[in-house]
Amino acid sequence: MISQIMISYIKGKITYKSESFIIVECHDIGYKIIVSTLTLSKLHESEDIIIHTFMNVKEDNISLFGFLTQQEQQLFHKLLSVSGIGPKGAMAFLSEMTPDEIILAILSEDVKTLSKAPGIGKKTVQRLILELKDKIKIDEMAEQQVFENQIQQKQYNEKWEAIEGLISLGYSRSEAMRAVNDCYKEGLSVEEILKLSLKKLIKF
């Protein structure tokens, strides 16, 4: 059984940090909060934080999961809505990829990238894409911002250059990302990726 949010966020000081959780002290109470690997890497003991939370209630256990941003918290909820994905599975995605990376991978139906999450099989990833690609449709302006964030965070490599090349030819960002993700292999030049991607798009 998965509960609705009962504690929206906690504001306090980190008194302990392990490999998978932190303890945040608030009004003399220490809350054990499970966080993703990416979130954990940004936190330090004795730091004052505001952390968004999700409470998972089972018959024999109550757990708190924590997120640095509301975007991460909301994406966690969407991942939980997919059949076969529980809190640990949703946290596996967030430990491997940023929310922007997950959103782009879903929109571009990038099974390979999403399959990097530990303990998540290909069939689960395919079901995730099928169930969420329409639920997380974002408007063109927001999609542009997510795309630009990724360009800034990653090295501007051949993959991203090819995607921008297809967009300049009139294809939508989602079409370009899907085509390039299907064709991309390390070692290919931008021209080779573009040729393969265009062949795939023309077939459609």
pTM reported for the whole predicted model: 0.70
Contact 107, 136 (CB under 8 A): yes
Instruction: Return the minimum-mean-pLDDT range out of 88-92, 106-110, 190-194.
Output: 106-110
Say which residues have a Cβ less than 8 Å from residue 172's Cβ, sequence separation at least 6: none
In a domain, residue 4? The reply is no
In a domain, residue 150? The reply is no
- State the pLDDT confidence band at 141, using cuts at 50, 70 and 90: very low
- State the pLDDT confidence band at 77, using cuts at 50, 70 and 90: very high
Residue length of the chain: 204
Same domain, 176 and 201: yes
State how beta strands 29-34 and 62-67 pair.
Answer: parallel
In a domain, residue 45? The reply is yes
- C-alpha span between 166 and 161 (Å, rounded): 9
- C-alpha span between 109 and 128 (Å, rounded): 10
- C-alpha span between 65 and 81 (Å, rounded): 16
- Pick the last residue of a domain from 109, 142, 175: 142
In a domain, residue 104? The reply is yes
Same domain, 114 and 168: no
Same domain, 99 and 125: yes
pLDDT 10s digits, 94-140: 999 888 788 888 887 888 889 989 999 999 999 999 999 888 765 44
Q: For the chain, what is the mean pLDDT?
A: 84
Q: Which two tokens stand for residue 183?
A: 């064709």
Same domain, 113 and 163: no
Contact 74, 67 (CB under 8 A): no
Closest CA to 24 of 52, 58, 1, 4: 52
| Mean predicted confidence (pLDDT) in 74-93 | 93
Higher-confidence position of 11 and 156: 11
In a domain, residue 3? The reply is no
Residue 114's domain spans which residues? 71-142
Same domain, 64 and 84: no
Distances (CA, A) of 34 to 37, 68, 185: 10, 12, 35
- Pick the last residue of a domain from 68, 85, 106: 68
Residue 130: per-residue pLDDT: 92
Residue 89: per-residue pLDDT: 95
Same domain, 52 and 64: yes
Which amino acid, 129?
I
pLDDT 10s digits, 19-40: 999 999 999 999 999 999 999 9
The CATH number covering residue 163 comes to 1.10.8.10
Same domain, 76 and 61: no
| % of the chain surpassing 70 pLDDT | 86
Same domain, 78 and 63: no
**How many structural domains does the chain have?**
3
